[in-house]
Copies of this chain bind each other. A is one copy, B any other.
Amino acid sequence: MSYEVKSLNEECGIFGVWGHPDAARVTYFGLHSLQHRGQEGAGIVSNDAGKLYGYRELGLLSEVFKDDRQLAQLKGNAAIGHVRYATAGNGSVDNIQPFLFKFYDCSVGLAHNGNLTNACSLRTELERDGAIFHSNSDTEILMHLIRRSKKETWLDQLKEALNQVKGGFAYILMREDCMIAALDANGFRPLAIGKMKNGAYVVASETCALEVSGAEFVRDVQPGEIIIINGDGVKIEHFTKDTQHAICSMEYVYFARPDSNIAGVNVHTARKNMGRNLAKEAPVAADMVIGVPNSSLSAASGYAEASGIPYELGLVKNQYVARTFIQPTQELREQGVRMKLSAVRGVVAGKKVIMVDDSIVRGTTSRRIVDLLKEAGAKEVHVRIASPPLKYPCFYGIDIQTRKELIAANHSVEEIRQVIGADSLSYLSEEGLINAIGLDFDAPYGGLCMAYFNGDYPTPLYDYQEKYQASLKEQTSFF
């Protein structure tokens, strides 16, 4: 997952466990395997027999929980945790989750992955009615709606609130007496349930976090479901039955870890299939196939296998991330780029290379990699992208909200080829992607959200509608 060199950011990863004596520690390990979903901050809320404890901080998980002291204070046999995506600059600890709300009558922890499409209007409405928000995050809204609901039981209050928020969301709540998971009506974001050997239940954004916890996969949370976990086991409720599957296809293409399964489909396998289909759709004569580490290695090996062209390690990624504020200044800028990724001169020199990548956002990184390969002596560089062109923003939880930053929204494939300096460029077709993933829900695209590729949003856009319409008329040059 080459998050360091790409400007695509997942919104978050969430995790929860109920029934384990070392709940905070299990959550720490779970979050560690979800770290690729968010690097800005992390936190855990634990539940010790009804008393909730919380700790959250800016930074990587290993920075937030620097030693055992913080974890030791998060007592209890249940816990939820959160890793938040990295944004430039305005990071404040106020936005780091899980949120821990303490009321006169109860306490609640809340963690959220996704993006609400009516957050802005709900928030204004609530503030007009006297509500005070303490973060910029959409997440707080759910708690205000719950607390203002006039329903009698907390479950009915929760259902009412969940029906008011629109867009993509996977929530985990920690109440004093139970842990709750809920998924939006379209199932945009993944959320899976597992069971540990000691009977503890685990909920996580990706199945890789079940594996690391030693939990066995039980089932995916389904769109519209509320999962209630406590000492009595798992109970399933629904806040709506008006649901469908529109699973984020970019989870398969780029975000999720290759060892995770989403809706029963292994991510590595899906990527390998994308590579295979790409080889069939866009063959080219060359000496070798190389993948851009790490997210494109699966697709590259699939392309190699299907094409019969050898798979080579032509690019090496430095595992140590340098502080970005050590600026390479002027002529050294070029070296800065080379700190992250190096071309293997001994492998690519004098060769025709097929470079497989998962996607292109702005094209800047692709251009740099093509440059690296050519400087290392590659005779030809043929770029093959294992997904269709990214042309439309996402409003359900991925950090692309304008068409301005998407090269494919502003340029033809041939123009992009020129921008990145490749000898040829091809993308996987929409059908090729859908086929590679191979879902077959009774829903458009077999149950995938393909909106970034074709603008076919599965829901109304609410607060974003107007801005989106305007953006369709604008054009930006990337040359």
Check A346–B266 contact: CB distance below 8 A. Answer: yes
Complex CA distance for A354 and B319, rounded to whole angstroms: 25
A364 at the interface (CB under 8 A from B): no
* Complex interface: chain B residues within 8 A of A104 (CB): 123-124, 127-128
- Given the known interface contacts A318-B32, A318-B33, A326-B68, the answer about A266 and B344 at a Cβ–Cβ threshold of 8 Å is yes
Given contacts A33-B339, A67-B323, A131-B131, 10 further A-B contacts (CB under 8 A): A103-B127, A104-B127, A130-B130, A131-B132, A132-B143, A211-B338, A214-B334, A268-B347, A272-B313, A301-B312
Complex CA distance for A104 and B125, rounded to whole angstroms: 9
Chain A contact residues (Cβ within 8 angstroms of B): what range?
35 or more
Contact of A316 among B259, B322, B326 (CB under 8 A): B259
Check A335–B212 contact: CB distance below 8 A. Answer: yes
* Complex interface: chain B residues within 8 A of A318 (CB): 32-33, 35
Q: Hey, which bits of chain A sit against chain B, CB under 8 A?
A: 1, 22, 25-26, 28-29, 32-33, 35-36, 60-62, 65-68, 71, 93, 101-105, 123-124, 127-128, 130-134, 136, 140, 143-144, 147-148, 198, 208, 211-214, 257-259, 261, 265-269, 272, 294, 297-298, 301, 305, 310-313, 316, 318-323, 325-329, 331-332, 334-336, 338-339, 342-347, 376
Q: List 13 A-B contacts (CB under 8 A).
A: A26-B335, A29-B339, A32-B322, A33-B318, A33-B339, A33-B342, A66-B323, A132-B140, A134-B134, A211-B338, A214-B334, A258-B344, A301-B312
* Complex interface: chain B residues within 8 A of A130 (CB): 130-131, 144, 147-148
Complex CA distance for A67 and B270, rounded to whole angstroms: 41
Complex CA distance for A347 and B260, rounded to whole angstroms: 11
Complex CA distance for A127 and B104, rounded to whole angstroms: 7
- Identical chains bound together, number: 4
* Complex interface: chain B residues within 8 A of A124 (CB): 104
Complex CA distance for A123 and B105, rounded to whole angstroms: 11
Chain A to chain B: the 5 pairs with minimum beta-carbon distance, closest first? A266-B346, A130-B148, A134-B134, A259-B344, A35-B320
* Most B C-beta atoms less than 10 A away, residue of A132, A134, A329, A331: A132
Check B214–A338 contact: CB distance below 8 A. Answer: yes
Complex CA distance for A65 and B335, rounded to whole angstroms: 17
* Complex interface: chain B residues within 8 A of A332 (CB): 22, 25-26, 29
* Complex interface: chain B residues within 8 A of A35 (CB): 318-320
* Complex interface: chain B residues within 8 A of A322 (CB): 28-29, 32, 61-62
Check B212–A313 contact: CB distance below 8 A. Answer: no
Complex CA distance for A321 and B62, rounded to whole angstroms: 8
Complex CA distance for A313 and B295, rounded to whole angstroms: 11
Complex CA distance for A310 and B312, rounded to whole angstroms: 14
Contact of A25 among B28, B60, B258, B328 (CB under 8 A): B328
* Complex interface: chain B residues within 8 A of A133 (CB): 102-103
- Nearest chain B CB to A252's CB is how many angstroms away? 12
Contact of A311 among B143, B301, B316 (CB under 8 A): B301
